[in-house]
Amino acid sequence: MGANLSSIFVDPNALSLYGSLSPQSTTLKPTLGDLPEGCVASILAYLEPPEICKLARLNRAFRGASWADFVWESKLPVNYVRIIERVFGDDLPRKLSKREIFTRLCRANTFDGGTKKVWLDKIAGGVCLSICSKGLAITGIDDRRYWNHIPSEESRFHSIAYLQQIWWFEVDGQFEFPFPAGTYSLFFRLQLGRAAKKFGRRICNAEHVHGWDIKPVRFQLWTGDGQYASSQCFLTDPGKWNLYHVGDFVVDSTNLSMNLKFSMTQIDCTHTKGGLCLDSVVVYPCKFIERLKHF
pLDDT digits (tens, 9 = 90+) for 244-266: 999 999 999 877 899 999 999 99
Task: Say how far apart CA 87 and CA 77 lie, in whole Å.
Answer: 14
φ, ψ dihedrals at 106, nearest 5°: -75, -15
Average per-residue pLDDT for the chain: 86
**What is the per-residue DSSP string for 265-286?**
EEE-TTS-BB-EEEEEEEEEEG
Q: Is pLDDT larger for residue 10 or for residue 110?
A: 110
* Global pTM value: 0.82
pLDDT tens for 156-191 read: 999 999 999 999 999 999 999 999 999 999 999 999
pLDDT tens for 5-17 read: 343 333 444 434 4
Task: Say how far apart CA 79 and CA 178 lie, in whole Å.
Answer: 8
Q: What is the predicted pLDDT for the residue at 3? A: 45
237 burial via Cβ count (<10 Å: 0-12, 13-18, 19+)? exposed
Q: Is pLDDT larger for residue 168 or for residue 294?
A: 168
Any residues with CB less than 8 A from the CB of 59 and at least 6 apart, and which? Answer: 31, 32, 33
Q: Is pLDDT larger for residue 54 or for residue 92?
A: 54
Q: What is the predicted pLDDT for the residue at 52? A: 86
Q: What is the predicted pLDDT for the residue at 284? A: 94
Angle of CA points 47, 87, 255, to nearest 5°? 75
- How large is the average pLDDT for residues 83-91? 90
**What is the per-residue DSSP string for 110-122?**
EETTTTEEEEE-T
SS3 246: strand
Considering all CA atoms of the chain, what is the largest pairwise distance in Å, rounded to the nearest integer?
96
CA 201 to chain CA centroid, Å, is 27
Residue 117 has pLDDT above 50, yes or no: yes
Of the CATH numbers 3.40.1080.10, 3.40.50.1100, 2.60.120.260, 1.10.10.10, which one belongs to the domain with range 127-293?
2.60.120.260
Q: Among 106, 107, 102, 109, which residue's Cα sits nearest to residue 87? A: 109
Question: Are the C-beta atoms of 259 and 176 separated by less than 8 Å?
Answer: yes
**What is the per-residue DSSP string for 16-81?**
-SSS---TT--SPPP-GGGS-HHHHHHHHTTS-HHHHHHHTTT-HHHHHHTT-HHHHHTTS-TTHH
Q: Among 245, 228, 227, which residue's Cα sits nearest to residue 283? A: 245
Highest mean pLDDT among 3-12, 56-65, 135-144 belongs to 135-144
Q: Which of 27-31, 86-90, 100-104, 112-116 has the lowest mean pLDDT?
A: 27-31
Q: What is the predicted pLDDT for the residue at 125? A: 75
* Integer-rounded Cα radius of gyration of the chain: 26
All structural domains of the chain with their residue ranges: 37-74, 127-293
The strand pairing partners of 195, in sequence order, are 204
Q: Among 67, 59, 63, which residue's Cα sits nearest to residue 17? A: 59
Question: Are the C-beta atoms of 217 and 235 separated by less than 8 Å?
Answer: yes
